[in-house]
Structure 1
Amino acid sequence: MGKVFNGVEEFSESRNVFKTVPALVLYLGAIHFNLALILWATVFLPLSKGLLVFGLLLVFVLIPVDENSIFGHKLSKYICKHICSYFPITLHVEEAKAFRPDQAYVFGYEPHSVFPIGIVALGDSTGFMPLAKTKFLASSAVFYIPFLRHIWTWLGFTPVTKQNFISSLEAGYSCILVPGGVRETFFMEPGCEIAFLKQRRGFVRIALQMGLPLVPVFCFGQTKAYKWWKPPGRSPIPFKNPLYIVVGRPIELEKNPEPTMEQVAKVHSQFVEALQDLFDRHKAHAGYTNLELKIF
């Protein structure tokens, strides 16, 4: 899948479009497929057949997903492998030895941009991070989309609710989330990266309550994977723009079941400063010397 040296995983660019394009379609294409199917059923089918299509889509929304499916596990491995080689992705871990397989971590991945494509490089299906098991926290709306909910569940995604967050950490999963979320897309500007963090402290509070390390992560090049405007536009297949993902040093925290607002604010400031420092130290090596990071 790639070469590892000094905490850096480089995924070689794949020339096999018969593997990378299907992986992209499976990872990102379900939304477009559903929209196209609904449009086709609405415009070209008689009412009875159109209702049948909508009924089948509803069935796929309600069918339980087996997280332990062997087929799902193999499919997630396939998607992660070829997504990482499509762009390709370079994953740089500053202190790989600082991570313990028996420890759960809270990863704050930025930016969201149009879509946080590179986040899968941190998952256990990719196999590079020295973590026993991981969960990605994503918008709950995703899990009401036919087909996509199955694929993303197999990839390790779960709805970003407080209950899921805490229960996943308690079960030993490292949780990876984009603190700024979808809202960052409304602040995007040409020539800079946007992180909507100043009002997002919930993930810090949970990390403090459980005494788990916070880890800043930044992905360079992701914003260029799509053409966009305000309101942001989306194209079905992203450009093959190299992604350079940097994983910072864990911020160790003492367990505090009932942190005050001041204590949460202090740790939150540490995380924001660590993310800014991570960005500043690696942007030149990632090929973005003049890039600016704006934190709102």
Structure 2
Amino acid sequence: MKTLKKQRIEIVSVYQFVFSFLFMGLFFSLLLFFLLFTSFWLLSVLYLVWLYLDWDTPDRGGRRFECVRNWQIWEHFRDYYPIKLVKTAELPSDRNYVLGSHPHGIMCAGTFCNFATESNGFSRQFPGLRPFLAGLAGLFRVPVYRDYIMSCGLCPVSRQSLDFLLSGPQLGQAVVILVGGANESLHGVPGEHCLTLLKRKGFVRLALRHGASLVPVYSFGENEIFIQASFRIGSWQRALQVAFKKLTGFAPCIFWGRGLFFPRGLLPFPVPITTVVGCPIPVPHRPNPSQEEVDLYHKLYMEALEQMFEEHKESCGVSPSTHLTFV
């Protein structure tokens, strides 16, 4: 039984994540602009100079700090839901990996907790592997926020960045890609397991170019931590969401969780999240893979992901009659 103090610390840790995810970038962008017109203008100028000199760092492996990944606040964040990491097979450190993580959900809480922090002991469970969670490239152009997410081991989901990580001499690099991206967040409705995957083959091509093994990952419960207003495909509301997503890269989801003083708020529901890491799929090294090879390994990946989902769904609270759907 959790003490009242423990519950409060967990809530603070989760709010820290939510507000950082939603507002940290905007806050510091506005703050730097505001300071330019005050007696503290030099702070903004110095940071902007630093930003210019440091511009390419995200594409060159980033700048992670293990002390940040090991912050105790992440353990409280983990305990709030709670979030678990399940290992189903060994991932030897004598090769590189491309992990496809599903589903995206609203805020990727399970993926972030397990691969951008050490709260569930990723390094202990998979010794010798160095995880890099790939995020939207535009996030690494946002002042201060870019430095914060890089410190957790995030990198841009761009060809230049991922090629840099997987082509270096050091093996054991594990690139984690949220394959469905922002589009999949529109399907992040409780009880649904709909993945944007049918036409997403870039991660397979990446794996083939570097001979990196493919690994399916699924976070059960990710879609349950928020309630989302879902609009049917073909409606003007969904068309507006898709158009906004194409323009900005972000999907404007309308969602809510629980509140501290009101029925609705931004605090996620404390629903268990179980992230299952599947068996590796060996991939040959093909610097210029053919479309047939890409299609073959994409099909093998989808079959492995579906099999893993079926094997673990009941133990993770999913109805036996529920199956994955792909769009």
TM-score if structure 1 supplies the norm length? 0.80
Provide Cα deviations, 1:9-44, integer angstroms capped at 9, x if missing partner. Answer: xxx9896245434433443322325556889999xx
Q: Which residue of 2 aligns with 1:233?
A: 254
Give the Å deviation of 1:150.
Answer: 1.9
Structure 1 residue matching 2:84: 3-state secondary structure? strand
- Inter-partner Cα distance in structure 2 for 1:39 and 1:151: 17
2:223 corresponds to 1:223: yes
Q: Does 1:167 align with 2:164?
A: yes
- Structure 1 counterpart SS, 2:77: helix
Give the conservation status (yes or no) of the 8 Å contact 2:115–2:132.
no
**Partner AA of 2:126 in structure 1:** P
Deviation of 1:241 after TM superposition, in Å, equals 1.2
1:253 match: secondary structure:
coil
SS at match of 2:100: strand
**Which of 96, 102, 111 is the aligned partner of 2:94?**
102
2:51 corresponds in structure 1 to: 62
Deviation at 1:293, TM superposition (A): 1.9
Q: Does 1:202 align with 2:214?
A: no
What is the aligned-residue RMSD (CA, Å)? 3.5
Structure 1 match to 2:136: 139
Report how many aligned residue pairs link the two structures.
278
Letter in 2 for 1:32: F
| 2:51 counterpart letter in structure 1 | L
Shift, 1:168, TM fit:
0.8
Cα offset, 1:113, TM superposition: 1.6
CA deviation string 1:97-156 (max 9, x = no partner):
x21133321100000021211113135734334143111110012223343322211110
CA distance in 1, matches of 2:212, 2:219: 22
Structure 1 contact 61–145 (Cα < 8 Å) conserved:
no
Q: Report the AA paired with residue 117 of structure 1.
A: A
Q: 1:162 to 1:86 in 2, by over 3 A?
A: same
Cα distance in 2 for residues equivalent to 1:207 and 1:34: 31
Q: 1:20 aligns with which of 10, 24, 28?
A: 10
Distance, in Å, in 2 between the alignment partners of 1:34 and 1:160 is 18
Does 2:81 correspond to 1:87? yes
| Unmatched runs of 5 consecutive residues or more in structure 1 | 1-11
Listed one character per residue, the Cα deviations across residues 65-114 of structure 1 (whole Å, up to 9, x for unaligned) are: 89557xx432221144333222111211112xx21133321100000021
Compared CA separation, residues 13 and 207, structure 1 to 2 (3 A)? farther
- Residue correspondence of structure 1 range 1-296 to structure 2 within 5 A: 16-17=6-7, 19-30=9-20, 31-33=22-24, 35=26, 59=48, 62=51, 64=54, 72-78=65-71, 79-95=73-89, 98-119=90-111, 120-123=113-116, 125-126=118-119, 127-128=121-122, 129-132=125-128, 133-171=130-168, 172=171, 173-230=173-230, 232-235=253-256, 236-289=266-319, 290-296=321-327
CA distance in 2, matches of 1:113, 1:294: 15
Paired AA for residue 287 in structure 2? P
Deviation at 1:263, TM superposition (A): 0.9
- Does structure 1 retain, via aligned residues, the 8 Å contact 2:133–2:155? yes
Change (3 A) 1:254 1:192: same
| Alpha-carbon distance in 2 for matches of 1:124, 1:229 | 30
Q: Is the 8 A contact 1:124 1:134 kept in 2?
A: no
Between the aligned partners of 1:26 and 1:103, the Cα distance in structure 2 is 35
Matched-pair identity in %: 25
Unaligned segments of structure 2, at least 5 residues: 231-251, 257-265
TM-score, with normalisation over the residues of structure 2? 0.73
Q: Distance in 2 between matches of 1:32 and 1:152?
A: 13
The answer on whether the counterparts of 1:137 and 1:157 sit within 8 Å (CA) in structure 2 is yes
Shift in CA distance, 268/224, structure 1 to aligned 2, threshold 3 Å: same
Partner SS state of residue 287, structure 2: coil
